[in-house]
Structure 1
């Protein structure tokens, strides 16, 4: 395989053409201009705090009194002269690889690499995937790498790009769906629907992308196998049985939907959920007033309480009021009565806080909680809207070309939520501020996922089958609510072929992929202990 980038030395020929910050291809004659723009983009795309720290490192005088724009201008003037450098990326290399594989060429993928070459591939991929976070150098970046080191399942969850680069171009002949992109046992859960009623479904759309339906099944099968071993402490034969239940649940549900066509009318609620999920609904129930008081609000009931995970930034209330007003208008969100203050004001921002230490794949990305005043005005019925920084899907450039190019980062996530949950959270939206793209959603007292370490062997099999069926339901919506222009359910059933053969193929894939993840994790842990993820792979000219 070509296209390797080594630390502090690389050839532009290995990259193909110099990519910009979003991975767009740049022509040869535009390289010098693009290099200058990259330097400026790396400066202006940062927060004021990050710019100030960079100015401090460069010894720029008067930095304490400078605005964000003044800091950016000073840093641009102070940009290092001499050899140009930019962060190395293999996005275009893998895009070409994926297209070649999809066209039927016999090309080896990085999954065949062993020894030092595999170690270097893992290291480079994780550095590239965490480019912004490593460059920012915040505490949560170190926390994420520690979390990936401590747990095999966390490593699997937080390295989707590594997983999908091993699959580049696979299954290009298979039916395309709007794939969730990161299927695993903890990305199903309880959340609010459009009427603020708890439902059970897929709950994370950060990696969503149009892709062959098998990509979600492969990721999900591997996720269930690893989680059953690490979280459930089950033996390998039980792990394989659980994967079979996941795939069989998908096939059974897709067969039924191909026959009945009821996917737009189906919704799993407390009144119609299987026993195992019904218990999750019951356990997740909590009164809003108690939830707010115990987890979020200070004694006044009007502000966020400062904790190690929640940092109030009340000085930005006016700024986030404008952001929230713009969110509602640009996303055409119909504000419900429960988001109206007692005087009739819609979406009045009471307070703002930075949320730290949440998620696995998204750990280290910006996340804000915005407190919205409820009708009572006394802090017992307030809403919390989350703004979560979005990034490019791990599947970008790796799926076989299907003509479904996605829009901006957060807009892609919003599109997936609207397709997968046709009556989902009304506050899902996308917006840009501080030079970055954010998605929005409501935090709710009943937002919860199942405790995997409490499941019995039988419950693991039940849960896997339920999740397989839920995944089939959201895939089936890819034609009605999504951009797929043919009847997707019968196409998937035909592509599956003999169900037993398809199921065993998925089990075999999951067994092989899970073992590869284990080997990668061991190499990652060794590299992490040696400080490998405190710096980036740079391209020098």
Structure 2
């Protein structure tokens, strides 16, 4: 007796396509979106005023902190770029698209790639910031990463040829890794990790002695940036109680922010948020969180583009006074990509951030979760919560020579490809990219054009500060 197969091609879901069909879909996209077309950037006369875009974001933020945001963005074209994801989102929406979508970081500039800790206490290299994550055209992340390489290269005084080589190395790495992932099984892609030892091996023989020492130092330093390091740096004993050290305006204790009644309401809200957000964690992690007791909290100014969003750091203690857990609860608003890529399918913005991070990262912080709250001012807000520090290591692009930045770009490109391959059609994207360098060179051209635009936008902000249209405040921070 011949047993009939339990599954036939006809019974498979409509969305299922064979690898050959998926590859054909990718190659077909070249007809309506040639790879060379990605060199284009011509937003036209209807482009939004960049200062208007920034100010519209500031309208819902903590107003006393907004001048700090403008101050940080005024410092250099690269710092401006870090805070200008909303501006670039509108620009990217005018550029050619293949129609192939994946989960996007939404803010894939080079400083959002760094060393992080896995739950198994291994050091990994991965994407870090997901405030803007949303499904969208895969090209947008690649172009934002590429433009950041050019802007960093200009600040370092690299020549046109040197910057071009850096960007082409970055995009080539994305392309070749995506082609490698296209030939792998789903589980093999999912289990792929960004091993920093691969970084060490990659630079051996390709950097001079000073560069190799810098990589080794960065790897070693990352392991010291944890809860204990934050505990020693950010807290002190006050009347036999552990308290967060105020460092205004970057870190401000709640005691110094509000009158007693309002402060009590805010403290109650934060305690409730930390207590309830644990329900979004796996049950074993809920149990672990329950072994800690909250002892202090403060407001923290973070990043560049995020300045003015509500962000709280919370100190909890475990078995004794030397067993700390630092959590950061950060406000989550709508992604800057949403007006162009579509609204999130999640009911809260905090869940959007967490879901995107879990999908794109090889492994995520064990305390990563979200909560929706009713704030004392009557406004409903979304937050996501994670550890403040967990073996984080970040490079300083200003210290890099062209070869070093190109190597770092290769690592970023490969990491972004792995993140996209987890959620998008890696076979179609790989087939579209192909084995040649047409796409690499096109994106390198786009990146130079966009760096020009970024410099004009940065100057527009400086002009707005000089005329009094906006107020900028320096806080002497390098965050």
What range is the shorter-chain TM-score in?
0.7 to 0.9
More contact order relative to length (CA 8 Å, sep ≥ 6): 2
Aligned partners of 1:216, 1:260: CA distance in 2, in Å? 22
Q: Is the 8 A contact 1:123 1:524 kept in 2?
A: yes
Instruction: Give the distance between the partners of 2:227 and 2:356, measured in 1 at CA.
Output: 31
Q: CA deviation at 1:303?
A: 2.0
2:86 & 2:190 partners in 1: Cα distance?
A: 31
Equivalent in the alignment of 1:84: none
CA deviation map 1:332-371 (0-9, x unaligned): 453278x56xxxx523212111113x20110111110111
Whether 1:366 and 2:310 are equivalent positions in the alignment is: yes
| Number of the residue aligned with 1:283 | 221
Q: Partners in 1 of 2:232 and 2:106 — Cα distance?
A: 34
- 1:429 Cα deviation from its structure 2 partner: 1.2
Whether the 8 Å contact between 2:117 and 2:390 is mirrored in structure 1 is no
Aligned counterpart for 1:214 among listed residues 132, 139, 142 = 139
Partner of 2:54: 126
Matches within 5 A, 1:98-497: 111-113=43-45, 121-133=49-61, 136-138=62-64, 140-168=65-93, 170-230=95-155, 232-261=156-185, 262-275=188-201, 279-286=217-224, 291-299=229-237, 300=240, 302-308=242-248, 309-313=250-254, 319-332=269-282, 334-335=284-285, 339=288, 345-356=290-301, 358-375=302-319, 377-379=320-322, 381-399=323-341, 405-433=345-373, 434=375, 435-444=380-389, 446-479=391-424, 488-497=425-434
- Give the direction of change, closer, same or farther, for the CA distance of 1:146–1:361 in structure 2 (3 Å limit): same
Unaligned runs of 5+ in 1: 1-100, 103-107, 480-487, 535-541
- How far is 1:508 from its partner? 1.0
The unaligned stretches of length 5 or more in structure 2 are 1-31, 34-39, 204-214, 256-263, 472-479
C-alpha contact 2:63 2:308 (8 A) present in aligned 1: no
Match in the other structure for 1:67: none
Distance in 1, Cα, partners of 2:386 & 2:89: 27
Structure 1 residue 215, shift from structure 2 partner: 0.7
Q: CA RMSD in A?
A: 2.8
- With the length of structure 2 as denominator, give the TM-score of the two structures: 0.77
Residue 526 of structure 1 corresponds to which residue in structure 2? 463
Q: Is the 8 A contact 1:429 1:440 kept in 2?
A: yes
Q: Which residue of 1 aligns with 2:259?
A: none
- What is the CA deviation profile of residues 424-449 of structure 1, one whole-angstrom value per residue up to 9, with x for unaligned ones? 11211111221211111112252221
TM-score after normalising by structure 1 = 0.69
Do the aligned partners of residues 461 and 270 (structure 1) sit closer, same or farther apart at CA in structure 2, a change above 3 Å counting?
closer
2:116 counterpart SS class: strand
What's the CA shift for 1:509? 0.8
Assess, with a 3 A threshold, how the Cα gap between structure 1 residues 465 and 422 changes in structure 2: closer, same or farther. Answer: closer
Task: Note closer, same or farther for the CA distance 1:273–1:265 as it changes in structure 2 (3 Å cut).
Answer: farther
